[in-house]
Amino acid sequence: MNDLRVQAVDDDASIRDWKYVRNLIVSGDVLSLDEVRARTGRNHMEVAYLGDVLIGCTAVRPPAKDNGTTATVIARVLPEHRHRGIGTQLYERALGQARALDPQVSETVVLASHPDGLRFAEQHGFVELERYLLREGDTMPWIVLRLS
């Protein structure tokens, strides 16, 4: 994939692009621009393009500063660009960024309504750890998976 271009989320255009991919894939928990902007201060976030076409995004949540031991790695690819190895490239890039933070463990989270994401995580060595609802009244659980 020599046309693959990945860049940090560091300006309004990249924030909008990251938000678009994330909200399309995680449609049950839509984030506002302000919520995405706030996440850029806590997490390492990137957007991915093939040429000039937006195809995906990543997020790496570092271990918590108060003795946290877990880094969370998330790679998302728009449906029309899946099954071409892009997700694996993005995931490996994000996992490398997480490993540089020296966590004891790496995890990912997938919304249960996203079976492609769950399959992808399991194929890359993640094992389900728990399920939880983000808010009272939610019906679709998030699945936490740990890299084994």
* 147 in any annotated domain: no
SS3 38: helix
* 21 in any annotated domain: yes
* 57 in any annotated domain: yes
* 20 in any annotated domain: yes
Instruction: Spell out the residues 6+ positions from residue 98 whose beta carbon is closer than 8 angstroms to its own.
Output: 60, 62, 71, 72, 73, 106
Tokens of 64: 């918590």
The pLDDT assigned to 62 comes to 94
The pLDDT assigned to 16 comes to 98
Q: Which domain holds residue 99?
A: 4-106
The pLDDT assigned to 135 comes to 87
Residue 12 and residue 40 in contact, taking contact as beta carbons nearer than 8 Å: no
The pLDDT assigned to 2 comes to 62
SS3 16: helix
Residue 59 and residue 44 in contact, taking contact as beta carbons nearer than 8 Å: yes
* 129 in any annotated domain: no
* 94 in any annotated domain: yes
Structural domains of the chain, count:
1
CATH of the domain at 46: 3.40.630.30
* 125 in any annotated domain: no
pLDDT, tens digit only, all 148 positions of the chain: 468 999 999 999 999 999 999 999 988 789 999 999 999 999 999 999 999 999 999 999 999 876 779 999 999 999 999 999 999 999 999 999 999 999 999 999 999 988 989 999 999 999 999 999 988 988 889 999 999 8
Residue with tokens 């399309």: 24
* 131 in any annotated domain: no
